[in-house]
């Protein structure tokens, strides 16, 4: 998500940037049938993507934001609608989102969670999707 946003800030687009197209292709290929994304912490050990087979709030939010920044709303918003539905369904009655598996790993040995990521990024992704949809109407 951060790399795509940086490339877009530097003037790159889906149409003129192979890395952005490659990122979108990868993300869309990993979207789960639920509409969300979920990467296992084992990806770090295996040095290859390992699907957790269940959606993760932070992973789904990061994937949504990368796709939004890359212009997915204008190309085909359906995967984003599916992801938004997944996030909304994961929200707890308190308004928070569930704490799930670790979202990061350093040096294949230190696993960590940023406690606020689970609440910050879903709201950011849903808000950015809403903003982009309003902009194209």
For residue 108, the domain's CATH number is 1.50.10.20
State how many domains the chain has.
1
Query: pLDDT at position 35, please?
Result: 98
- Per-residue pLDDT for 105 more than 70? no
Work out the mean pLDDT of the chain and round it to a whole number. Answer: 92
**Banded model confidence at residue 39, pLDDT cuts 50, 70, 90:** very high
Provide the domain limits for residue 102. 2-135
Query: Would the pLDDT of 42 be above 90?
Result: no
Q: Which two tokens stand for residue 78?
A: 């359906």
pLDDT at residue number 103? 65
pTM of the model: 0.93
Backbone angles phi, psi at 12, to 5 degrees: -85, 155
pLDDT tens digits along 56-100: 999 999 999 999 999 999 999 999 999 999 999 999 999 999 998
- Per DSSP, what are the bridge partners of residue 104? 112
Per-residue pLDDT at 34 = 97
Q: Which two structure tokens, joined as six digits, stand for 24?
A: 């979108």
Contacts of 113 (CB under 8 A, 6+ apart): 99, 102, 103, 104
Task: Check whether 108 has a pLDDT greater than 80.
Answer: no
């Amino acid at each position: 998500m951060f790399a795509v946003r940086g490339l877009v800030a530097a003037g790159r687009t889906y149409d003129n940037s192979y890395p952005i197209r490659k990122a979108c292709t990868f993300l869309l290929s990993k979207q789960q049938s639920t509409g969300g994304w979920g990467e296992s912490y084992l990806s770090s050990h295996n040095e290859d993507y390992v699907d957790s087979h269940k959606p993760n709030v932070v992973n789904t939010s990061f994937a949504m934001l990368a796709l939004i920044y890359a212009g997915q709303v204008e190309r085909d918003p359906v995967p984003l609608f599916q992801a938004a539905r997944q996030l909304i369904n994961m929200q707890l009655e308190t308004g928070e989102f569930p704490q799930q598996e670790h979202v990061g790993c350093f040096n294949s040995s230190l696993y960590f969670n940023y406690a606020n990521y689970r609440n910050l990024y879903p709201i950011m992704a849903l808000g950015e999707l809403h903003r982009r949809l309003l902009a194209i109407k």
